[in-house]
Amino acid sequence: MKKAIFSLKITALLSASLHAQQTEDKIYHYSSMDALRNGVYTGDITVKELKEKSDFGLGTYNFLDGELIQLDGQLFRVATDGSVETASEKRQVPFGSFTFFRKDQSIMAEQIKTVAELQQKLVHLLPSRNRFYAIKIEAGFENLTLGGAVKVSEKDTTGIATFMKTRPQYKKQNIRGTLVGFYSPPYVGGLDLSPFHFHFISDDKTAGGHLIDGTFSDTKITIQLDEKSNYEVILPHTNNEGYQRNWKTSEAKAQY
């Protein structure tokens, strides 16, 4: 009898640790890039809730009111003027990709000058192009071009591709920080940017945004990879008319 109770406890412990493992080994993806492409800019998940689901991620805030970066558990908001603040726990998020970053392996890249070169090379260095990876790169940059967001009015359902043509850009020189990003296989191009989506936050937390372009000052770049075996997509509970109205004239394949 005693033996039976003992083995039952072991089973409970094992399933608890398996559950923790599965939670950490998962990308939690809120809404989809196609929703933004169709002008859906509201979600109902809060910064407070996200802190329980992740410690690493990227996205935007409701009505595109800033760029979102999560690093080491802290969520940051880059305002239209480029200033960075700690995001209020009440803020809501219409789109984002989040996870607990647990490094599986590091890849050293040498003789890489630009972000574009790095991305081209990285596609070939990934263990599998059909899997999902959270990617963390701590590096120095000679130049960096970051993209920002401008808040839209609450009724606006213009697809994001239109706004991207006039998005604010922040140009930085001689700056160190972290690229927070994901590799998503081409078969989920409607859910997120594929192959890569990166946001940046500087070491001093005064600059950040969506990575557009850059040149490295470091000659060796360490790429930290966290392979994810689970991908959970959560759809907003909001019933946005724009999504339905724009559905037939979808700009789904427009470039963000």
How near is the Cβ of 219 to Zn ion at its closest, in Å?
27
Query: At 11, phi and psi to the nearest 5?
Result: -60, -45
77 is a contact residue toward Zn ion (CB under 5 A)? no
CA–CA distance, 169 with 174 (Å, rounded to integer) = 17
Binding test (CB under 5 A) with Zn ion, winner from 26, 136, 172, 210: 210
**Using CB under 5 A, which of the segments 19-27, 75-83, 182-190, 203-211 binds Zn ion?**
203-211
Binding to Zn ion by CB under 5 A, coded x per residue (else -) over 211-230, reads --------------------
Residues whose CB is less than 8 angstroms from the CB of residue 158 and which lie 6 or more positions away in sequence, other chains included = 39, 152
What is the DSSP pairing of strand 208-216 with strand 132-147? antiparallel
Q: What is the DSSP letter of 19?
A: H
CA–CA distance, 206 with 68 (Å, rounded to integer) = 13
| Sign of the CA dihedral running 97, 101, 103, 107 | positive
> For the purposes of burial, counting CB atoms within 10 Å of the CB of 213, is it exposed (0-12), middle (13-18) or buried (19 or more)?
middle
Residue 18 or 80 with smaller CB distance to Zn ion? 80
How near is the Cβ of 28 to Zn ion at its closest, in Å?
16
Tokens, residue 215: 């040149």
Which among 64, 37, 68, 41 is positioned nearest to 54, based on CA atoms? 68
- Name the closest residue to Zn ion (Cβ): 210
Residue 55 or 192 with smaller CB distance to Zn ion? 192
Question: Does the N-terminal peptide bond of residue 186 adopt cis geometry, omega within 30 degrees of 0?
Answer: no
How near is the Cβ of 237 to Zn ion at its closest, in Å?
23
Binding to Zn ion by CB under 5 A, coded x per residue (else -) over 159-198, reads ----------------------------------------
Residue 10 or 50 with smaller CB distance to Zn ion? 50
Residue 210 or 228 with smaller CB distance to Zn ion? 210
Binding residues for Zn ion, total number by CB under 5 A: 1
Residue 77 or 210 with smaller CB distance to Zn ion? 210
Residue 91 or 210 with smaller CB distance to Zn ion? 210
Site of interaction with Zn ion (CB under 5 A): 210
